[in-house]
Amino acid sequence: MRFPKIAAASAVVLLAAACGGGADSEGGGDADSLTVWVMGTSQPPLVEYFDGAEARFKENNPDVDVNVEFIPWPDAQESITNALAGGDAPDVIEIGNDQVSGWASQGALLDITEKVEGWDAAAEIDQNALEYGTYDGVQYGVPWFSGVRTLYYRADWLKELGHEPPATWDELVTVAEDIKDEYDVPGFAAPTDFTNGIASFIWSNGGEIAVQNDAGEWEGKLTDPAAVEAVEFYASLTTDGISPQGYVGENELVPLADMANGQVGMYIDGGWALGSMEEQAENPDILEDIVAAPIPGADGIAPAFAGGSALSVFSTTQHPDLAFELLTVLGDQEGGKGYADTAGFFPAYPDLLAEDEYQKDPDRVAAATQMQHTSFFPSTPRWTAADQDNKILPGAVLEIVNGGDPEEVLAAANEQLTEILNEPVE
């Protein structure tokens, strides 16, 4: 198996000739090799995983090699855009699960609806995650792995205070206040530029961000009472002094550094944050006392955005049938679990999450539990414009923290959200 070393520039990948200019009705005929684009950087455990995946694929296709090319996440946009323009293109590609609809709308991904319907493993995948891989009712992506955010907390401090990890909003406030009183640091961090965190509070209160009606139009739901109450509560964590002013306008990276150095008692982030904490901790011993728990909601565990990646067949492949067969090898229970475990995520198969390796491992149990309480952002290419470009939710929270009337702020935000989500897809 070939693993080109793709460094900072995706141009290295794009120098080669294109894989092909379109699929034929018979699946492309004979193939010597298939190419998979994986987002990230090559690491020995990942190389070993793909060696095993290639061996499985070759059981039925002994004459077909599998070439894996690693594309750094910052270069993904340019790489895929160039592939669409006729540059080097993959047969199978990893796509962020919140990017499937966007790339599908631009013609980068192949319609795999019928193939997925005939794939037995599809019935075992998280059905909400599978639905998130559709665009306009067409299946373009299959969940590969998932990752969620959880609540990180100082276990030693909570033990000394006689508290369990907070499971509700009321408990979150109580524990945070006690941490501040006892240790003279903020008890909880609520950065305002944090859509994922804000969304969890909305979802936990029974609210939604936006829904699609029967006519296919998007309707913002930020003015619904459940959403208003949740956003007000999240903003109040700052205005009431639970979370410090220093996190206003910031994302979760600032409290990450503070958590690693004993300057905050609790904050929300993903499992991937632990590596950054190790790099930033001045006293590594502190990390032994940082533990995770599910995110507290209004009355129990809050849903978290089920981040992760999907596997798709690239639209220009000359071998669509073989490409989908390779996708199934990577994405079935064996392949999906194998990659998730290797890369530090979770498989997209709910039944697997009940196994002891997830439920009894203290380093994984919180996220495994959280994985059973998830939700998704609006499945539309326009979500990127609403969130990343216009920061509608973070902007609303920021305005409220700075003194804006919650109902007025959210009414304006909801109007903007509805307008953007319904704009034509270019």
Whether 106 is in a domain gets the answer yes
**pLDDT cut 90: percent of the chain above it:** 81
Q: What is the mean pLDDT of residues 4-15?
A: 31
- 349-393 pLDDT per residue, tens: 999 988 888 888 887 899 999 988 999 999 999 998 999 899 999
Q: Which two tokens stand for residue 319?
A: 């071998």
- 176-225 pLDDT per residue, tens: 999 999 999 999 999 999 999 999 999 999 999 999 999 999 999 999 99
Alpha-carbon span 93 to 89, nearest angstrom: 9
Q: Does 253 share its domain with 212?
A: yes
**What is the residue-wise DSSP string for 379-403?**
-STTHHIIIIIT-HHHHHHHHHHTT
Q: Does 400 share its domain with 268?
A: yes
Whether 240 is in a domain gets the answer yes
Q: Does 119 share its domain with 186?
A: no
Count up the domains in the chain and report the number.
Answer: 2
- Choose one of 374, 391, 410: the last residue of a domain: 374
Q: 232 is in which domain, residue-wise?
A: 149-304+382-421
Whether 191 is in a domain gets the answer yes
**22 or 47: which leads in pLDDT:** 47
Banded model confidence at residue 292, pLDDT cuts 50, 70, 90: very high
Task: Match 């798709």 to its residue by tokens.
Answer: 312
Q: Does 364 share its domain with 342?
A: yes
Whether 253 is in a domain gets the answer yes
**Nearest-CA neighbor of 94 among 72, 66, 116, 111?**
72
Q: Residue 424 pLDDT more than 80? A: yes
Predicted local confidence at residue 8, as pLDDT:
30
Contacts of 118 (CB under 8 A, 6+ apart): none
Contacts of 77 (CB under 8 A, 6+ apart): none
Whether 178 is in a domain gets the answer yes
Q: Does 399 share its domain with 275?
A: yes
Whether 15 is in a domain gets the answer yes
Alpha-carbon span 36 to 164, nearest angstrom: 45
Predicted local confidence at residue 367, as pLDDT:
92
Q: Does 136 share its domain with 188?
A: no
Q: What are phi and psi of 421, to 5 degrees?
A: -65, -25
- 110-156 pLDDT per residue, tens: 999 999 999 999 999 999 999 999 999 999 999 999 999 999 999 99
Q: Does 132 share its domain with 155?
A: no
**What is the residue-wise DSSP string for 197-229?**
HHHHHHHHTT--SEEE-TTS-EEE-TTSHHHHH
Q: Does 115 share its domain with 261?
A: no
Whether 2 is in a domain gets the answer no
- 53-88 pLDDT per residue, tens: 999 999 999 999 999 999 998 899 999 999 999 989
Give the CATH number for residue 412: 3.40.190.10
- 11-35 pLDDT per residue, tens: 333 323 333 333 333 444 578 999 9
Q: Are 146 and 350 spatial neighbours (Cβ–Cβ below 8 Å)?
A: no
Q: Does 288 share its domain with 339?
A: no
Whether 325 is in a domain gets the answer yes
**pLDDT cut 70: percent of the chain above it:** 93
Q: Does 143 share its domain with 162?
A: no
**7 or 412: which leads in pLDDT:** 412
Length of the chain: 426
Predicted local confidence at residue 363, as pLDDT:
77
Q: Does 312 share its domain with 364?
A: yes
Q: Does 230 share its domain with 296?
A: yes
Alpha-carbon span 188 to 54, nearest angstrom: 46
Q: What are phi and psi of 250, to 5 degrees?
A: -105, 160
Predicted local confidence at residue 25, as pLDDT:
36
Predicted local confidence at residue 43, as pLDDT:
87
- 304-318 pLDDT per residue, tens: 998 899 999 999 999
Q: Are 69 and 38 spatial neighbours (Cβ–Cβ below 8 Å)?
A: yes
